[in-house]
Amino acid sequence: MSLSLEDRVTALPGVGPKLAARLAEAFAIHTLRDLLEHYPRRYHDAGEVLDLSDVEEGTPATLLGEVLEWSTRRIPPKGKRSRPLDLTEGRVRQASGAVFAVTFFNQRWRTSSLPPGTVAAFSGTVKRFRHELQLASPDVQVLGKVGSGTDTSSAAQRLDHQRLLGVYRATEALPSFKLNELVEAALEALAPLEDWLPEPIRRDQQLRALDRAVRAIHAPADHADRHAARRRLAFDELFSLQLGLQWRRRQLEADTVGLDNAPVADGWAARFLAELPFPLTGAQQRATADLGRDLGATRPMHRLLQGDVGSGKTVVAVWTMLNAVDRGRQAALMVPTEVLAEQHHRTLTELLAPLGVNVLDGLRVAALTSSTSTAVRRRILSELLTGELDLIVGTHALLEEGVRFADLGVVVIDEQHRFGVSQRVQLKEKSAPIDGTTPTAPDVLVMTATPIPRSLALTLYGDLDVTVLDELPPGREPITTQLITPDEAHRRGRLEAFIRTEVAAGRRVYVVCPFVEESEQLPGRGAVEEHGRLAAEVFADLGVALVHGRLPSADKEAAMTAFRAGAAQILVSTTVIEVGVDVPEATIMVIEDAERFGISQLHQLRGRVGRGGGRSYCVLFAGWSSELGEDARERLVAVAGTTDGFELAETDLRIRGSGQLFGRAQSGLPDLLLARIQEDVDLVAATRELATRILESDPELGAPEHARLRAEVLRRYEGGVEAFAALETG
């Protein structure tokens, strides 16, 4: 009988509806494929399995046998030990008939987890006690039960040629050894697995055949075998992901032609750089070189520009947009919030001032958000349509029906994580010229200040090219970060005094709270209450402003203006100020209930200070309204320990793990089960390159030699390439 991966587990001998239901419920295992993708969590290294007669006293060994009986006795307190001990002792019989003892202290539960009849491997150091050999507190790996197909000698034989035993995520009803048995049965029943990777790829990448890899990941002969198997299967995960992402990108771009926006001599873009009061950093120069090439190509640009807060992305963005204007086209800058739109509009106007803004012969720049008045909106829409407006900054409002451009050449999207692919596609339609000529796709630059480890960027954004601004402009002010927990409550008072001194010296302070308002359900400070407290009690003599997402735009803008101008020296807010807000005089960032924020959020918030106002400070209050957990403390200590965004991003990735990065349910992308993008960065790069090469020669994956690749990618992404659309919610 030969089974296939798509067969249900009930096709296996001995698997009835009851066991099948258990597998489905505990691990969502329905088919043999599911079972075989339930990879071992780790491996039990049995070491050399020995027979009692070969054991040397005082050396580590693994002894294997059938549990015969248990007894427990109580040892009274003695010496320094003030409590009695339970000594649980089991007697175990080896295949040869020899019996040895295993002992555990205060682990009476062993008697029920290893009832008589259990066959198990016990690893530890062998001692002689009275006349018997015994293993004290050994490492235990259950192998099966006598009477259900396992006996001591067959188990011994198995471990003999296979030192590494897969240990599976298990439940009480489905212990790991049961999964070992099921997997073994499945591997026996399966016809040899056909390999979806063409032979030349396997050869080039030095990859195991699929069949061998699947078998070895569950039952490796040794560590090298396990390693090679994991590498092959991780390659499959990453390669299919890259193929899928890039395939989709090509489909989206299928009938689009890019515009030639290559830099011209003496244009706005060139003059902009010449007028800047500072030279570009090396990283900015490399970025403009990358972008310049993209802008000139016929394929529309799709590039991700990532750089830490303050690395100077805005200058690069403005330069990119001006290249479109140099070709007589328009450019749009999309941002996620109104506050940011206002901020960017102001920055743009300032940066472009030397070139002339909104004056005769100057550049025409406007901002559009959902709170733009009807009259202004009407004028902007008409000027976009006629081409009078060169540059526009806006929120989602730019995507609305009715917004049309005469000729949209460049789109810059700030803070990628809040926009999705479909919005990039929507923008494409905005540029369809009304005169009926062939639609063209704008060049798209996506910017993110959330540092993403390179490995992750290449994985997540398989459909974007990536440029990194890995250098900060000179003259950055250092930021001191401190973590304050309730056991140092006096430091809150000291901070208040310090804030007064700083404010007296013309500096400003952010106070960020996790919530708009406090509630019963979630412990933590609310910006509204905190503002009330600070304004009425603590800093009654100072100007304290409030900004949060639920305020009307006018109030938000008033608060920001007061803070910027110094009329308010303290700004209490939620994370609305997380991105882009730029007030150079701000030197103190206070974050309440910091454990409620993730690493990248904290890093973003901290990036609001240290922007030129002198030495800056970030104070993280944590553990004040809820218990500080292990992970939270690790995150906060990391943030306090470095201001390097990329280092923090790596830490973040390590703490969270990459396995659940995508979360199949939300993203439509398969989880990476074996691939670990931090360690497998070489595989990420290799698979990405390979996918590009294949799709370049065969964009539809329609060639006969790619039929298997195509089928595999479609299988992994249920619903086909359409499933990728789910990424957009990301």
Where do contacts with Mg ion occur on this chain (CB under 5 A)? 580
Partner interacting with residue 467 (select from ligand ADP, Mg ion, none; CB below 5-8 Å by kind):
none
CB 104 within 8 A of CB 111: no
Nearer to ligand ADP, 191 or 274 (CB): 274
The minimum distance between CB 351 and ligand ADP, in angstroms, equals: 7
Six token digits for residue 462: 């398989």
Partner interacting with residue 310 (select from ligand ADP, Mg ion, none; CB below 5-8 Å by kind):
ligand ADP
Nearer to ligand ADP, 311 or 323 (CB): 311
Alpha helices in 219-312 (DSSP H): 223-252, 268-275, 282-296
The minimum distance between CB 398 and ligand ADP, in angstroms, equals: 19
Whose CA is closest to 462, among 689, 124, 194?
A: 689
CB 389 within 8 A of CB 380: yes
Strands (E), 25-136: 42-45, 49-50, 60-75, 85-93, 99-105, 118-129, 132-136
Partner interacting with residue 556 (select from Mg ion, ligand ADP, none; CB below 5-8 Å by kind):
none
Nearer to ligand ADP, 302 or 313 (CB): 313
Nearer to Mg ion, 578 or 650 (CB): 578
Which of positions 645-704 make contact with ligand ADP (CB under 6 A)?
Answer: none
CA-to-CA dists, residue 563 to 68, 349, 527, 585, angstroms: 77, 20, 16, 10
- Rounded to the nearest 5°, which phi and psi values hold at 638? -65, -45
Q: How many residues bind ligand ADP (CB under 6 A)?
A: 15
The b-or-e profile of 199-213 (16+ CB within 10 A means b, else e) is eebbeebebbbbebb
Partner interacting with residue 388 (select from ligand ADP, Mg ion, none; CB below 5-8 Å by kind):
none
From 90, 144, 312, 462, residue interacting with ligand ADP (rule: CB under 6 A): 312
Is 287 among the residues that bind ligand ADP (CB under 6 A)? no
Partner interacting with residue 453 (select from ligand ADP, Mg ion, none; CB below 5-8 Å by kind):
none
Is 367 among the residues that bind ligand ADP (CB under 6 A)? no
Partner interacting with residue 311 (select from ligand ADP, Mg ion, none; CB below 5-8 Å by kind):
ligand ADP
Query: d(Cα 483, Cα 591) in Å, to the nearest integer?
Result: 10
Helices 707-716 and 223-252, packing angle to 10 deg: 90
Whose CA is closest to 248, among 661, 713, 730?
A: 713
CB 456 within 8 A of CB 270: no
Which of positions 575-594 make contact with ligand ADP (CB under 6 A)?
Answer: 582
Partner interacting with residue 526 (select from Mg ion, ligand ADP, none; CB below 5-8 Å by kind):
none
From 63, 140, 159, 309, residue interacting with ligand ADP (rule: CB under 6 A): 309
Which span (167-175, 308-316, 360-368, 711-719) binds ligand ADP, by CB under 6 A?
308-316
The minimum distance between CB 580 and ligand ADP, in angstroms, equals: 7
Q: Judging by beta carbons within 10 Å of its beta carbon (0-12, 13-18, 19+), is residue 634 exposed, middle or buried?
A: middle
From 141, 150, 281, 337, residue interacting with ligand ADP (rule: CB under 6 A): 281
Six token digits for residue 40: 């071992």
Angle at 639 between CA 633 and CA 643, to 5 degrees: 170
- Cβ neighbors of 92 (< 8 A, separation 6 or more) are 63, 65, 66, 67, 68, 99, 100, 101, 102, 120, 122
- Rounded to the nearest 5°, which phi and psi values hold at 450? -85, 105
The residue sitting closest to Mg ion, measured at its beta carbon, is 580
The minimum distance between CB 307 and ligand ADP, in angstroms, equals: 5
From 133, 167, 201, 280, residue interacting with ligand ADP (rule: CB under 6 A): 280
Is 102 among the residues that bind ligand ADP (CB under 6 A)? no
Partner interacting with residue 315 (select from ligand ADP, Mg ion, none; CB below 5-8 Å by kind):
ligand ADP
Q: Judging by beta carbons within 10 Å of its beta carbon (0-12, 13-18, 19+), is residue 24 exposed, middle or buried?
A: middle
What single string gives the DSSP state of each residue in 324-390?
A: HHHTT-EEEEE-SSHHHHHHHHHHHHHHHGGG-BSSTTSB-EEEE-TTS-HHHHHHHHHHHHHT---
Handedness of CA 548, 551, 557, 561 (dihedral sign): negative
What single string gives the DSSP state of each residue in 138-155?
A: -EEEEEEEBTTTB-HHHH
Which of positions 315-354 make contact with ligand ADP (CB under 6 A)?
Answer: 315
From 278, 299, 356, 657, residue interacting with ligand ADP (rule: CB under 6 A): 278
Collapse the DSSP code of 480 into the 3-class scheme (helix H, G, I; strand E, B; otherwise coil) and give the result.
strand
Is 105 among the residues that bind ligand ADP (CB under 6 A)? no
Nearer to ligand ADP, 144 or 312 (CB): 312
Partner interacting with residue 280 (select from ligand ADP, Mg ion, none; CB below 5-8 Å by kind):
ligand ADP
Angle at 263 between CA 261 and CA 266, to 5 degrees: 130
Nearer to ligand ADP, 351 or 384 (CB): 351
Is 600 among the residues that bind ligand ADP (CB under 6 A)? no
From 433, 473, 598, 614, residue interacting with ligand ADP (rule: CB under 6 A): 473
Query: d(Cα 661, Cα 456) in Å, to the nearest integer?
Result: 10
Nearer to Mg ion, 119 or 391 (CB): 391
Whose CA is closest to 677, among 655, 657, 649?
A: 657
The minimum distance between CB 348 and ligand ADP, in angstroms, equals: 11
From 306, 314, 330, 575, residue interacting with ligand ADP (rule: CB under 6 A): 314
Nearer to ligand ADP, 307 or 453 (CB): 307
Residue type, position 388, single letter: E
Collapse the DSSP code of 499 into the 3-class scheme (helix H, G, I; strand E, B; otherwise coil) and give the result.
helix
Site string for ligand ADP, 438-467 (x = CB under 6 A): -----------x------------------
The minimum distance between CB 546 and ligand ADP, in angstroms, equals: 24
**Which residues of this protein are in contact with ligand ADP, per CB under 6 A?**
278, 280-281, 284, 307, 309-315, 449, 473, 582
